[in-house]
Structure 1
């Protein structure tokens, strides 16, 4: 089966959608499918990556691409199924969804972000495009994200197609700890919506109540990083808090092997792949309730879910005072693999492609049931 993944953002640009689409494409190829990426992100093209819109005006990687240009590519490459990937602003992916009826191709539209804060705006746009009537299968990366998508689409059913991970790749032996000081880790883009300042605020409060009885490592790059580093220095936390900048996956694995607690402070986290990687490595996870992390972290079992910044601080403080609770959850996470893994993701994607085919009157034969063409 030839699957075209239509995504406005893709490598070499780095981000959650870009990496997940790349990993999904790679896994589907390994399963025997013929996959193609169509994007407006500039970069090297090839037989498997088609880059469009260089001659069009836009902002960053985003271009408003004429539908006929996308239809031409789908026809030339003999695409069987279209899988469009939408975040908040994804003009080409929206165009791909809108072409489902006229192109006659089974289409899945996956939403990778949280629409909770902009449901009314998206609903207005979706009604303008009549998106709820498109013959597509809608999906989102978590139950929390799916609820907002369904609301924006006036109750349209939305399937959960989570991000993928190989939990075994993240399981590492825990080395002996030097000094026994608990380590708090977080991995995020240093942007406002990920709320690194909220986490740094909790760390500053912990310094006041717990002194040097912990250390914190914040991983990630982004526009807020220089300011955060100045705040750490100005607060005299340089000996206790480290902001590493961006790290590759191997370096993050090594860091997680030394971590006692992973913290995800964003309440609008659509999925939380970094939190899932930490949970797979055996690290207890503290996250905000109502985020996508709740799909793989149960309160008190794989970690803790809290409702506010104040509760986030209070929970960390209580765990530092009772390391046995951390140890118990860590033992569970090391012994029990998460249910979210690539095999389940690929099966769900294949089922969505088959269901999308039925909407076009295509029998769910082996080409749309995931069997390699």
Structure 2
């Protein structure tokens, strides 16, 4: 099947959507589909159309930036319906998979145009809409989006609830991000008696709460001096300020800010760690937390976030309701290492349910559902049974 993955943001820009779209399209290509990524994100522009893949797991990419106009802020650009329709036709697309976040002008246009053109269309929401439900609902009602013959999905149950509210109760499936758990499994067991290492991997941006996490860790070190080490991995606009805050705390905190690391390096750090922290209350999925859980680490995350889809409280980790709960839970585990070890043993013995094969099967089912929705809509318009 010729599948067009439409996304406002894509590599070489780094982020969760960018990597997941690349990985999903690459996996589909390896499975026998014929995917292509359509994006307005700038990148290499070879003459003659789409960038060809460099490896089996890399999809071709068609960059539409020259046909788009800048809107809003950041990398976002919008396209006229006619130009986008022509691009889909030129690529002989059989199904369209649109990936949207909180602000996705290309994605919304692609969903509307593809559905109107009779192409089976899936819209995946990769972010938490809880804070913008009234705004999205107004936009969706203006365009009658809930009535489009598309299949709606979100990356977690928490994210799906907000999408459902914005679409006035339209059905929304869960299409999680993909992972190969075995790629993250770490051998052996850490020696008993070692000072535990806490780790978190995130983009250093406000919504991920890195500053709040650093303050929590510094406060814990004052109350539990020398009882743990911590590693915060990631880059972003808040990183220079975090480094200043850590330097101001003085030596001997046991906390390290690494900046960005590649996947291989992150696996190495996870193998030397004991507990993963996911402090963001608006985490739509939490791929880094899933990677850590696959590596055998217990996870502390916020209840109501997407992480709750694969972390059961007291089984694979703990779900907390506030920053103070997070601090109290870490402190309790430092005082009860056997409790931490029991959950780590479970996570090493039991693989998570989220994996690429399940994601690919769910995506195929959504394409079939989108085709059925369009056929039913066409039957209604023609006066025949759906």
Is the structural similarity TM-score above 0.5? yes
Matched, 1:282 2:287: no
Matched, 1:123 2:122: no
Matched, 1:199 2:225: no
1:2 corresponding residue in structure 2: 2
- Aligned pair partner of 2:316 in 302, 317, 321: 302
- Aligned pair partner of 1:220 in 227, 231, 234: 234
Corresponding residue SS for 1:119: helix
Contact 1:141 1:163 survives alignment (8 Å):
yes
Contact 1:167 1:341 survives alignment (8 Å):
yes
- TM-aligned CA deviation for residue 261 of structure 1: 0.4
2:63 corresponding residue in structure 1: 51
Unaligned 5+ runs, structure 2: 46-50, 53-59, 377-386
Unaligned 5+ runs, structure 1: 363-373
Matched, 1:36 2:48: no
Over aligned residue pairs, what C-alpha RMSD do you find? 1.4
Contact 2:67 2:83 survives alignment (8 Å):
no
Contact 1:175 1:257 survives alignment (8 Å):
no
Where does 1:312-327 land on structure 2 (aligned, <5 Å)?
312-327=326-341
- TM-aligned CA deviation for residue 239 of structure 1: 4.6
- Structure 1 window deviating more from structure 2 (139-148 vs 127-136): it is 127-136
Where does 1:142-291 land on structure 2 (aligned, <5 Å)?
142-174=156-188, 176=190, 180-237=194-251, 239-291=253-305
Count of residues in correspondence between the two structures:
362
- Aligned pair partner of 2:83 in 62, 65, 69: 69
CA distance in 1, matches of 2:74, 2:214: 30
Question: TM-score, normalization: structure 2?
Answer: 0.91
**Structure with the greater relative contact order (CA < 8 A, sep ≥ 6): 1 or 2?**
1
1:238/1:86 Cα in 2 relative to 1: closer, same or farther (>3 Å)?
Answer: farther
- Structure 1 window deviating more from structure 2 (107-116 vs 168-177): it is 168-177
**Runs (4+) off by over 6 Å:** none
CA distance in 2, matches of 1:2, 1:309: 46
CA distance in 1, matches of 2:349, 2:199: 21
Contact 2:218 2:253 survives alignment (8 Å):
no
Contact 1:11 1:19 survives alignment (8 Å):
yes
CA distance in 2, matches of 1:259, 1:54: 46
- Aligned pair partner of 1:350 in 346, 355, 364: 364
1:368 corresponding residue in structure 2: none
1:217/1:125 Cα in 2 relative to 1: closer, same or farther (>3 Å)?
Answer: same
